[in-house]
């Protein structure tokens, strides 16, 4: 059985991420979405919030966990052979290629699988979604309803302070 992980910041999860999760789930015996939590990154949503927003949109059978260390160490620890990453455009390529090479150096046995985004989600990025939300734009084609609600709530609370 091949076990895969789909790691990311998911700050917040978007329809693009969800599309990838749905498409890759049938390819693996087990799939785990891994929420990365780096001390050096500044997130809009806390780890618990990001996890909850994902959990509400996960297809049955997909697991969720968090990782605050090296993703390759985590993959090895849980016995995952594959790391899945999404690719939207050429602009993602350099970063994903560098990450693949580093991960390969760290753990030779772990493979990276790149899945292309559907065209309708190729412009959807978490940071852009936050920008749209800041300007009160339409989020309905970008994120699921619970995420749109959380974004609005978060932005309202910041404006109120």
φ/ψ region of 100 (left if φ > 0, alpha if ψ in -120 to 50, else beta) reads alpha
Per-residue x/- track, 102-141, ligand ADP (CB under 6 A):
---------------x---x--xxx---------------
Binding-site member from 4, 28, 88, 148 for ligand ADP (CB under 6 A)? 88
Phi and psi torsions of 87, nearest 5°: -125, 120
Pairing, β 63-67 against β 82-87: unpaired
By CB under 6 A, tell whether 8 contacts ligand ADP. yes
Q: Could you tell me how many residues of this chain bind ligand ADP (CB under 6 A)?
A: 17
User: What residues make contact with ligand ADP under the rule CB under 6 A?
Assistant: 8-10, 14, 16-17, 20, 36, 85-86, 88, 92, 117, 121, 124-126
């Amino acid at each position: 059985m091949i076990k895969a992980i789909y790691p990311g910041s998911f700050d917040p999860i978007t329809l693009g991420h969800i599309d990838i999760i749905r498409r890759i789930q049938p390819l693996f015996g087990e799939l785990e979405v891994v929420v990365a939590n780096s001390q050096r990154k500044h997130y809009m949503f806390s780890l618990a919030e990001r996890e909850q927003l994902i959990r509400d949109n996960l297809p049955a059978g997909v697991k969720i966990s968090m990782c605050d260390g090296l993703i390759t160490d985590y993959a090895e620890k849980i016995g995952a052979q594959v790391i899945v990453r999404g690719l939207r455009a050429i602009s993602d390529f350099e970063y994903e290629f560098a990450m693949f090479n580093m991960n390969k150096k760290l753990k030779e046995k772990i493979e990276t699988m790149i899945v292309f985004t559907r065209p309708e989600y190729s412009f959807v990025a978490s940071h852009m979604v936050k920008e749209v939300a800041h300007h009160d734009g339409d989020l309905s084609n970008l994120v699921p309803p619970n995420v749109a609600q959380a974004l609005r709530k978060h932005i309202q609370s910041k404006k109120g302070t």
